[in-house]
Structures are given as structure tokens and as C-alpha cells.
Amino acid sequence: MILLKTKEEIENIKISANLLSRAIAEVGRHVRPGVTTSFLDKLGEQFIRDNGGIPLCKGYEGFPSAFCMSVNDVVVHGIPGDIFLKDGDNLSVDCVVDLNGFVSDSCYTFPVGEVSEDMKRLLRVTKEALYIGLDQCKAGNRVGDISCAIQMHCEKNGYSVVRELCGHGVGFKMHESPNVPNYGIKGTGPLLKEGMVIAVEPMVCAGSKNVKFSQEDGWTCRTKDGKMAAHYEHTVAITADGPQILTSFDEIENQ
């Protein structure tokens, strides 16, 4: 069942989203060669808790940390640890925040130090795919319109989209209906209605779309071919006036 949110509930999800966006920006201020992903995770977790939020990934089905920190060929669900960032890496910082019972979800992939032109292009195209998907988040459209727009933009640029994981409803819980795949057919899938809140999150591979999950930790999701991946995510509400993007990259990009 797809839970619709009132205007007031959407305002509350926006307050949660604002804290989440500030937390990701706070982590971003410390992303540089030589720091570890566990250092960044602890710093981000402290920021969320200091501001009254709960990082929902921690303890979710046994996930051990507040943030997913995914480096290079790790697509998503990287577990923070003694992993030292180095010049030319990418780091995706993914987090879900509960503030006063309202839940938001966002991810930003940061370049670490100086990155290659290939890496810059992967990050740019993945972020473009996110906003192209968000443009489709209008009442009367269908989930497949979002999925198709994301897939087309990535594939026309020579990249592929992951099939095993997808975007989702959000707002009262981390994962609600509907699923929002990053591939699909226009005009198909659930109808988008005013009051729906969803997380749109293209997970994009520079090479083939195939991924593998770590046997050791059960979480870390890597590209099979070892090529780079990127991931951007916003929480968005479908309103009478079109998409209202609740999370924001403004603080990350204007600091």
C-alpha cells in the first residue's frame, strides 16, 4: 500500500531532510585523501544525534553503521572502516535520518582530491540522471516514467544501471511502497499521486550492470567488472505544483 502524506507531514519530512542534507555536507567538508570512512561515519553520526536525529541504517537488518560509505567500485552499502581515501577515488555517502518520526533518505558521491576526467563524467551523468528522474515526479505520471528517463540518460552516455536495487517510498519508514527501479518502460507501473513521497536514487556503473554482494559481510555491493560506480539520491514529494525536492545538495556544492 502506498501511504500518502498530508502537506503538514511533508513539511515535517522536509525538516528531517534538511538535517540529513546538512549531515552529508558536514561529512563532505572532511572528505580528503588520508581520512578513513569510519572517521567520516562517526563524525556524521555525531552531527545527526547532536541535532536530535536518529540514523536509521545503524542496526537495520544488522547493518553496523550510520552511513553507507561506498568507495570506487563499491556501488552501495559499503561498511565504514579503516579504509583510507586516496586521491582520485570517489566516495558515496548514503544516509537515512529519522527526525521526530519523519524519515528522509539521500546520497551524494564526492570526488576525493583530484579525479580523472572519466570519473568527473560518471559523477556528472549520474547526478543528471537523478534530476531527469525527479522531473518525472508529477501526479498523473507513472513510476515507469521515472525509471525509463533515468535508464535512457545513463545508457545513452555509455553507462549501465543496477537492477538488483532501486528507489522506494519513504517518509514514515525507510522503505515504503512503491519500488522505484532505475530501469523500465514509460507509462507502466504505479500511478504517481499528490502526497506520495519517494526516494529516487540512480546507481550507475561505468561498465557492465552486474554487481556482486560480499560473502564476508553480506552488504558491500561491488561492480562485477571492478569498474567505478556512482550513486546520488534525493527524497522528493509529489505535489499539486510538481516535484518538491526535500533533500538538497546546495550546502554541499556551495561551500
**Binding-site ranges for ligand MF3 (CB under 6 A):** 57, 60, 63, 68, 77, 94, 96, 105, 107, 199
60 binds, among Co ion, ligand MF3, none (CB under 5 to 8 A by kind): ligand MF3
Reduce the DSSP state of residue 201 to 3 states and report it: coil
**Rounded CA gap, 12 and 10, in Å?**
5
Reduce the DSSP state of residue 166 to 3 states and report it: coil
Among residues 116 and 175, whose Cβ is nearest to ligand MF3?
175
Among residues 79 and 86, whose Cβ is nearest to ligand MF3?
79
41 binds, among Co ion, ligand MF3, none (CB under 5 to 8 A by kind): none
Least distance to ligand MF3, CB of residue 56, Å: 7
Q: Please give the grid coordinates belonging to residue 133.
A: 528522474
Least distance to Co ion, CB of residue 235, Å: 8
Site string for Co ion, 98-137 (x = CB under 5 A): -------x--------------------------------
Residue bearing cell 552488504: 219
Among residues 105 and 145, whose Cβ is nearest to Co ion?
105
Contact predicate 77/164, CB 8 Å: no
Among residues 54 and 242, whose Cβ is nearest to ligand MF3?
54
Q: Does the protein bind Co ion through residue 199 (CB under 5 A)?
A: yes
Distances 12 to 89, 122, 246 between C-alpha atoms, Å: 35, 33, 10
Among residues 20 and 149, whose Cβ is nearest to ligand MF3?
20
**Rounded CA gap, 225 and 208, in Å?**
7
Sign, CA torsion 182/166/200/76: negative
Contacts with 124 (C-beta within 8 Å, 6 or more apart), sequence order: none
Name the residues that contact Co ion, by CB under 5 A.
105, 199, 201
